[in-house]
């Protein structure tokens, strides 16, 4: 995500954009759960399920023109994908297979998904983030303690995990690195307390940063250098939040609807979610203007969104929506 989009959080003007049409997913038995877009505007969407009678995973890739095509998946027993991070021409998809970390690698040039090699000794990847070839992940060790690992080659190899004993049994809600060594991570404690931790030494040490007491969680966090944008949730609303000093202070704008996910290009942010009656909604934020999209053929709330350089993609449980560049 480019830094230009980060100043969009303070906008106040509302407009209506052109209609966007949903595309039915290839399966209605396995819900889509994760989406990512590379910087060359090829997107990937996957869903995994332990409840489906036959099919346990589905995948599709989207072209820069918005066409969605079936994607062959690796032969992995009972896969569960929960996190996606993309860079120039590839995406990393992380989660778990029974008792182990699971890492898939999507090659946007060849439209292929293969099995990657995660750090040893994990039982499930919780969060992923990438900047070019520099990637980081948080997974869970065998004793339920979170671990932090980095990669300098796009996820091909990983450092020996650093155990974060202070985060034992915490749930990760967000992870993003603004530089190779500056990372921010949102967690929920077992007592449902939200904490935002930052590291300025590549994950060796972490320090809690104060956040507004009303925030109950933080998601869709994306940082570039000291600028970050994210979604914050309170007991009564969703907020688009922005920091210019790496999570020291934040500015916030309350969203009119319930938001589930946020993603940005260099100039435009896309927010997705649902209204109080579970009707899906999507809005773009650009140059101080929030534009609400008119959605067609989108029967359920939108749960996730990702952006490449110019193109974004959103997903519902059985629906894909391509969001072209407004330029």
* Tens digit of pLDDT at every position of the chain (327 positions): 444 454 454 444 556 567 899 999 998 889 999 999 999 999 999 998 876 555 589 999 999 999 999 999 999 989 999 999 999 999 999 999 999 999 999 999 999 999 999 999 999 999 999 999 999 999 999 888 999 999 999 999 999 999 998 888 899 999 999 999 999 999 999 989 999 999 999 999 999 999 999 999 999 999 999 999 999 999 999 999 999 999 999 999 888 778 999 999 999 999 999 988 889 999 998 887 888 999 999 999 999 999 999 999 999 999 999 998 765
User: What's the pLDDT tens digit per position in 289-307?
Assistant: 888 999 999 999 999 999 9
Please tell me the pTM assigned to this model: 0.93
Q: Look at residue 9 in the predicted model and tell me its pLDDT.
A: 43
Measured CA to CA, the distance from residue 93 to residue 82 in angstroms comes to 8
Q: Is the dihedral of CA 144, 150, 155, 158 positive or negative?
A: negative
Burial 171-210 (b: 16+ CB within 10 A, else e): bbbbbbbbeeebbbbbbbeeeeebbbbbbeebbeebeebe
- Ramachandran category for residue 299: left, alpha or beta (phi over 0 → left; psi -120 to 50 → alpha): alpha
Measured CA to CA, the distance from residue 119 to residue 104 in angstroms comes to 13
Q: Is 2 exposed, middle or buried (0-12, 13-18, 19+ CB in 10 A)?
A: middle
What is the residue extent of each domain of the chain?
A: 3-323
Q: Look at residue 17 in the predicted model and tell me its pLDDT.
A: 63
C-alpha gyration radius of the chain:
18
Q: How far does Cα 53 stand from its chain's mean position?
A: 28
* Contact between 174 and 127 (Cβ < 8 Å): yes
Q: Look at residue 327 in the predicted model and tell me its pLDDT.
A: 55
Class at the top of the CATH hierarchy for domain 3-323? mainly beta
Q: Look at residue 289 in the predicted model and tell me its pLDDT.
A: 85
């Amino acid at each position: 995500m480019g830094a230009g989009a980060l100043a969009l959080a303070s906008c106040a003007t509302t407009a209506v954009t052109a209609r966007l049409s949903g595309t039915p997913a290839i399966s209605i038995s396995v819900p889509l759960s994760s989406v990512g877009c590379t910087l060359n505007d090829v997107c990937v969407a996957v869903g995994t399920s332990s409840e489906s009678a036959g099919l346990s995973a589905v995948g599709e890739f989207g072209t820069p023109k918005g066409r969605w095509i079936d994607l062959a998946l690796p032969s992995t027993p009972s896969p569960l994908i929960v996190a996606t991070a993309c860079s120039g021409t590839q995406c990393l998809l992380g989660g778990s297979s029974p008792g182990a970390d699971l890492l898939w690698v999507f090659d946007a040039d060849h439209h292929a998904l293969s099995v990657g090699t995660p750090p040893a000794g994990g039982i499930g990847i919780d969060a992923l983030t990438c900047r070019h070839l520099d990637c980081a992940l948080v997974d869970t060790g065998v004793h339920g303690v979170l671990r932090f690992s980095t990669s300098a080659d796009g996820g091909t190899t990983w450092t020996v995990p650093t155990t974060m004993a202070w985060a034992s049994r915490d749930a990760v809600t967000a992870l993003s690195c603004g530089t190779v060594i500056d990372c921010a991570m949102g967690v929920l404690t077992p007592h449902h307390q939200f904490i935002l931790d930052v590291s300025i030494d590549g994950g060796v040490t972490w320090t809690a940063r104060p956040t507004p007491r009303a925030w109950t969680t933080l998601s869709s966090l994306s940082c570039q250098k000291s600028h970050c944008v994210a979604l914050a949730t309170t007991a009564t609303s969703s907020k688009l939040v922005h920091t210019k000093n790496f999570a020291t202070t934040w500015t916030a704008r309350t969203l009119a609807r319930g938001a589930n996910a946020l993603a940005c290009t260099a100039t435009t942010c896309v927010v997705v979610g649902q209204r109080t009656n579970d009707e899906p909604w999507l809005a773009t934020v650009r140059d101080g203007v929030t534009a609400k999209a008119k959605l067609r053929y989108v029967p359920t709330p939108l749960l996730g969104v990702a952006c490449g350089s110019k193109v974004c993609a959103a997903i519902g449980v059985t629906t894909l929506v391509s969001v072209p560049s407004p330029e």
